Amino acid sequence: MTSSLTSTIAAECNHLRLAVDPDAMPRLAAYAERLWAWNEKLNLTRHTDAATFVARDVADAAAIVPHLAAGERVLDVGTGGGVPGIVLAILRPDLHVELCDSVGKKARAVQAISAEAGLPLPVHEGAGQAIVAKRPGAFDTLVIRAVAPLVKLLGWFEPVCHTYGRLLVIKGPRWEEEKGEARHRGFVKKVRIRRLAAWPLPGSDNESVLLEIEPRL
């Protein structure tokens, strides 16, 4: 299946005009194949065909790629089935990517998925804020997708914002409303939020956005 899936993923990337290195296609296929196999045992993703995998998972990671410097140390918080962390590691082999999930069975599953796909990455069981608090300075960037509203994320990470470089958060069309709520609740006193990028959300007139959240100096 992997050879056929490689071709299909490449065609979908080309269709969406995603700038993905051809050398990455077999690794994306190997990862998707193992993710879908594990998904039959444990609910890890709803993106269970090549078109949706590329349009949602690969596209989201590709949107982050231009905003990461060479060799950045990245922690994927609440990785679920490995997105965007594993996909980032495939698209940018120069990055030092680690993953975490507070749900133990998901953390163990993604550890197995990455190993079986030939992409062994460090996977931690636990909340991201606890992990960075224990390892101050270990990560330049925390990437977060589909974990919680901004007010919750900032409630978790603002108190430990001195232990990491920044957050890169993928959000949907309600991001401005979420930002307003976080401001109203007083969670933007120590951090600055700005939109770095936006791209279409497949199947709708809405878009996904990439937010950068940095400590205020």
Candidates 104, 169, 160, 173; CA nearest to 133 is: 160
Q: How confident is the model at residue 187 (pLDDT cuts 50, 70, 90)?
A: confident
H or E stretch at 100: strand 96-101
Cβ-defined contacts of 19-26 (< 8 Å, 24+): 19/62, 20/58, 20/62, 20/91, 21/91, 24/90, 24/91, 26/2
Q: Name the token pair of 216.
A: 């205020």
In the three-class reduction of DSSP (H, G, I as helix; E, B as strand; rest coil), residue 137 is classed as: coil
Q: In angstroms, rounded to a whole number, what is the distance separating the alpha carbons of residues 152 and 162?
A: 18
Domain made up of 54-215: CATH architecture:
3-Layer(aba) Sandwich (3.40)
pLDDT in tens, 52-73: 999 999 999 999 999 999 999 9
Query: How many CB atoms within 10 Å of residue 203?
Result: 9
| Neighbour-count burial of 196, counting CB atoms closer than 10 A to its CB (0-12 exposed, 13-18 middle, 19+ buried) | middle
Bridge-based pairing state of the strands 166-171 and 207-215: antiparallel
Which single residue is written with the structure tokens 């069309």? 173
Which single residue is written with the structure tokens 């199947």? 203
pLDDT of 83: 96
182, amino acid identity: A
CB contact set of 204 (below 8 Å; sequence gap of 6+): none
How long a stretch of residues is the chain? 217
pLDDT of 206: 87
Q: How confident is the model at residue 1 (pLDDT cuts 50, 70, 90)?
A: low
User: Do the beta carbons of residue 82 and residue 27 sit within 8 Å?
Assistant: no
User: Do the beta carbons of residue 53 and residue 86 sit within 8 Å?
Assistant: no
pLDDT in tens, 81-125: 999 999 999 999 999 999 999 999 999 999 999 999 999 999 999
Query: So where are the chain's domains?
Result: 54-215
